[in-house]
Amino acid sequence: MTIAFISHPACEAHDLGPVHPESPQRLRAINDHLLATGLDLALRHYDAPQVSRGQLQRVHAASYIDEVFAKAPDDGTVWLDPDTGMMAASLPAALHAAGAAVLATELVLDEKADQAFCSVRPPGHHAERDRAMGFCVFNNLAVGAAHALTEYGVQRLAIVDFDVHHGNGTEQIFRDDARVMMCSTFRHPFYPFSGADTHSERFINVPLAAGSKGEDFRAAVMQQWLPALRAFKPQILYISAGFDAHLADDMGGLSLLESDYYWVTAELKQLMLEVNGLARMISVLEGGYETGALARSVAAHLKGMLDG
């Protein structure tokens, strides 16, 4: 039983200043908490490589990649969208963040790890084929998933996304790919105001009203995600692991707790064991801005992978 924990110091250097919620402190809080709880000892640590251009081009337009490289500043901050800034250290951070998902895919599909967690930033699930959005430059999870589809010939790949925001970028990238199923919960109506009207057989989108609690989330998972996943029989499962639906995260407005993240992770692991024999799971950090709740929730999520 091996869980790979993949990160890189470059991901901490991306810093948009003291008022931006997507802060370097997020990764430091996760590391501190894993050390303090001893959970760190159960993980195998890896440095994330930089993603290659070819790997990015599987999910992003060449023109968009060129634009990101051209705009990356040597000093000061440029804004790719009103929320998504880049300073000098941001491009290396984004390249290592996407590279983490590629390494995670290789470790799990080469059976060197059972599961993997990518503790990276900037996050990815709002990034579309040709635009940055909502703190996200490259769609890290999508780059990893495309690596599984292209390099390993995976035929049935599932993505779940429990971030409080809809993963519009991931849905856009894989909307027409019959090999991919995506199951989401997200607050609605809420940024980015997508997802509620694009539910389909392969896109199991479950909007949650403001204030929804763990019991509402669990009902959505049990009644909608798990039956769809069981029928689809994924060979590998990717998780857009955003923890901004936590009660303490006042930007999100939902009321999940650590125990809900533990529960959903253990349920998903059980389902993967049932349908695939191997519980291949690759989790990629998305949101989560109250750093104490974020760190405890990541620990609960990893514990769910260990115990489930």
* Choice among 8, 14, 126, 301 that is catalytic: 126
Number of residues that bind Zn ion (CB under 5 A): 5
For residue 107, the minimal CB distance to Zn ion (Å) is: 26
Q: Considering just the CA atoms, what is the radius of gyration of the chain in Å?
A: 17
Nearest in space to 10 (alpha carbons), one of 81, 95, 76: 95
3-state secondary structure at position 214: helix
Q: Which of 12, 161, 216, 244 forms a contact with Zn ion (CB under 5 A)?
A: 244
Rounded to 5°, the CA angle 68-60-133 comes to 60
Smaller CB distance to Zn ion: residue 106 or 244?
Answer: 244
Q: Which of 242, 243, 256, 308 forms a contact with Zn ion (CB under 5 A)?
A: 242
For residue 244, the minimal CB distance to Zn ion (Å) is: 4
Confirm whether 126 is a catalytic residue: yes
Residues numbered 138-197 forming contacts with Zn ion, rule: CB under 5 A:
163, 165
Residues numbered 51-80 forming contacts with Zn ion, rule: CB under 5 A:
none
For residue 215, the minimal CB distance to Zn ion (Å) is: 21
Angle between helices 90-109 and 140-151 in degrees, nearest 10:
40
Distance, in Å, from the CA atom of 207 to the CA atom of 219, rounded to the nearest integer, reads 12
Residue 289 near residue 249 (C-beta atoms within 8 A): yes
Smaller CB distance to Zn ion: residue 163 or 290?
Answer: 163
**Which DSSP state fits 250?**
T
Distance, in Å, from the CA atom of 105 to the CA atom of 166, rounded to the nearest integer, reads 23
Distance, in Å, from the CA atom of 126 to the CA atom of 133, rounded to the nearest integer, reads 5
**Which DSSP state fits 297?**
H
Please identify which residue in the block is written with the tokens 């995600």.
225
Residues numbered 263-302 forming contacts with Zn ion, rule: CB under 5 A:
287
Part of the chain binding Zn ion (CB under 5 A), chosen from 38-46, 198-206, 239-247, 264-272: 239-247
For position 85 contacting Zn ion by CB under 5 A, the verdict is no
For residue 191, the minimal CB distance to Zn ion (Å) is: 8
Part of the chain binding Zn ion (CB under 5 A), chosen from 144-152, 172-180, 244-252, 293-301: 244-252
Catalogue the active-site residues. 126
The residues binding Zn ion (CB under 5 A) are 163, 165, 242, 244, 287
